[in-house]
Structure 1
């Protein structure tokens, strides 16, 4: 009887430890993250993020790849007409990179919609859309890692040029029907 009382708490403690080890969410290694991103990018050049994927692939360190993120608000109830135009231009750049002979796992393009990651918008103090940001392989984004669409617009050509300036990776930009320069207007997001 005494033996059973001593063993029960030990087994219970052991059970908690095992559940804690196997129940905890496993952090991906750098190689696993880069591999998953490469697999996803070969299927879809612009990766769709939510708050969890943003933290997993963009904020997680270490990183040996750059990530370009378009923060947007594409839902019709957000009334961001300019976001659709910017998305089309961004898609041209992403497609040009994906089908380029120099495509590698050193650069990825992604998109985070306000409705899928409003907490990320708040963390980054973003109150308008669209916003294009470069998250470098090392360190945190600096002021120049945000595309100044008020000054240069968001044509696919200008996005590709800015990406090259930030990453030193040249994208063989393929002009499409949407390749015309667009002005730098933004749509405000709700607080």
Structure 2
């Protein structure tokens, strides 16, 4: 998993509430167990028409937001099913930070395990960043995880809270497997001692 420290990127405004995981990645794309390749189907039913053509008015299809790395969204982002494909699709598209007033718990935790920083802020601060994002590609928002700050394109600084352990994992690129491998030496030592104590196993 990639480390997350600082990010300066284009933010795409998506002022919808209750964006659920089926909207993020529809169920027909859940057959794969690979984390890559899902970005093209992110928000598929809003992004494309029935013939597979891009919908010009959808935010991520607009030229100024095609390279967005930040998504500013409405309340209760990531609600619905617990599918981990949702953060996979977001990350594969290139978005590594989602800002919203609130998140569904399972989606929120899945983000940290997939290199995405979800930031929950009061509505008035999300509204400010939403207006900033609406300026297009000329407005870049800066996110500093270590300092726990967001800086708007106008220089306004907003502080955010994040769990210390989740912050540590994200800054060091540690998912569940990575956390386990940090204990590799202790695991090897235990296995060696167990093999000597019980050679018949």
Structure 2 length-normalised TM: 0.29
Q: Give 1 or 2: higher helix fraction.
A: 1
Q: Please identify the structure whose Cα radius of gyration is greater.
A: 1
TM-score of the superposition, structure 1-length normalised? 0.30
